[in-house]
Amino acid sequence: MHTLKKIFRHLKNKYILALMVFFVWILFFDQNNLIDRFVTQRNIRQLERDKNYFIERIRQDSTRLKELKTDNENLEKYAREQYFMKRENEDIFIIEFPD
């Protein structure tokens, strides 16, 4: 009970009360409140990770495309593996392994 009186006595101080109101306002009600800033920063980090992933995928795909454009053997291999294309009088057997 004694500590409760001490807290109320400090709350009567106008500077402490003003600081508390300021922190509550910044935390919840301001246009740039701390909660929104935290969520926005988390979204930015996720978007940066996505950006790095897609940059790496573009690099890999560009390398693969260059290989396919320059070498007909690679193009034929890619067509056979990805689209199951075949030559005339050739049979293809697809074997799938369970994961």
* Interval 46-62: pLDDT, tens: 999 999 999 999 999 99
The pLDDT score that the predictor gives to residue 58 is 98
Exposure string over 23-43, b if 16+ CB within 10 A, otherwise e? eeeeeeeeeeeeeeeeeeeee
**Contact call for residues 90 and 80 (beta carbons, < 8 A):** no
pLDDT for 1 beyond 70:
no
Neighbouring residues of 74: CB distance < 8 A, sequence distance ≥ 6:
67, 68
What's the predicted TM-score (pTM) here?
0.55
Amino acid at residue number 91:
D
